[in-house]
Amino acid sequence: MKVNQKDIENFHKNGFFILKGGAIVDFKDRIIEDLLSIIKSTIKYSNTNDKTKLLYDDFFKNSEGSQKSEQLSKCIDFVIENENDHEYSSALYEIFYNSPVVISSINNKLINDTLISLGVKHPLASDLPLVRIDRAKYRVFDTPWHQDYWQSYLSNNAIVAWFSLTQLFPGIGLLEVIPKSHKEGCLNFKKFEKGAAPFTLADNISTKRTMSIKLNYDEILFFNSYLIHRSGLNNSKTTRITLQMRYNDLTTLKKQVSPYVIKYSDCVESFHKSQLNFSKKSEV
């Protein structure tokens, strides 16, 4: 699964490269195995009633014979069809981030070697791996035209590795990219008002050359952080689950700082506040 000279040239020319190989199947299967166990535990330890839990349990057991990506699709679709107010799918979006298997997938040799071949001499994580859950026909979280530069702001040659865990087909919302647009460098961006994404490009861009990236299960997309891209619309009946990993380069860092910020979570903050109120009350 070596990256050859032509691949490297095309990556620099077009701003993206697709890596293909059998080892990618094993890599994705391991992540899916973990996501499935998180889905099962989330339902099992929730406060839903025992009858509903049994229903889920039965469904999960019945899906076990299928191929991993199909099993993940079936299970997440079943959860989304049967939940109220995105109760479980919203929780899963938060929890997937905290999986040690997902976090450690950022240190994959195959990905690391590819990054080096594509010009990131000493890869550094610029973010934790993000697991996106894109529900069918749900537009709020679609990402408009943007560059990932604002996430990977420390290196000019930062690269994003993007791949899908569920099967990709045109209606599910393929990632759309504008080949060669990375050559423009960092473009101005502005606040995005129409959805959950924070930013979009400030100025109009030519979208004539837009390409939808259809990846097979044994493929991973690598793209330059300056490449202009956006979410395709998921008009299908099935959820799309994808992963993105972002890397800076230690040898080109503009500043030697960490992009991670330790944050006091809302949950801990409100607990502390309630404790403070409680102790104030008891003093009176």
Pick from 32, 56, 148, 241 the residue near ligand AKG by CB under 6 A: 148
Of the two residues 78 and 199, which places its CB atom closer to Fe ion in the complex? 199
Any contact of residue 148 with Fe ion (CB under 5 A)? yes
- CA–CA separation, 108 and 179 (whole Å): 26
Pick from 28, 74, 182, 229 the residue near ligand AKG by CB under 6 A: 229
Binding mask 193-212 for ligand AKG (x = CB under 6 A): --------------------
- CA–CA separation, 153 and 253 (whole Å): 9
Q: Residue 229 CB, nearest distance to ligand AKG (Å)?
A: 5
Pick from 156, 210, 244, 252 the residue near ligand AKG by CB under 6 A: 244
Q: Is 65 left (phi over 0), alpha (psi -120 to 50) or beta?
A: alpha
Residues 201-260 that bind Fe ion (CB under 5 A): none
Binding-site size for ligand AKG (CB under 6 A) equals 8
Q: Residue 28 binds what, of Fe ion, ligand AKG, none (CB under 5 to 8 Å, by partner type)?
A: none
Any contact of residue 219 with ligand AKG (CB under 6 A)? no
Q: What is the dihedral of CA 123, 126, 131, 132, to 10 degrees?
A: -120
Residue with tokens 């490297």: 8
Residues with Cβ within 8 Å of residue 223, at least 6 apart in sequence: 15, 16, 17, 159, 160, 162, 177, 182, 229
Any contact of residue 182 with ligand AKG (CB under 6 A)? no
Indicate the burial class of 170 (C-beta count within 10 angstroms; 0-12, 13-18, 19 or more): exposed
Would you tell me which residues interact with Fe ion (CB under 5 A)? 148
Instruction: List interacting residues with ligand AKG (CB under 6 A).
Output: 132, 143, 148, 175, 229, 231, 242, 244
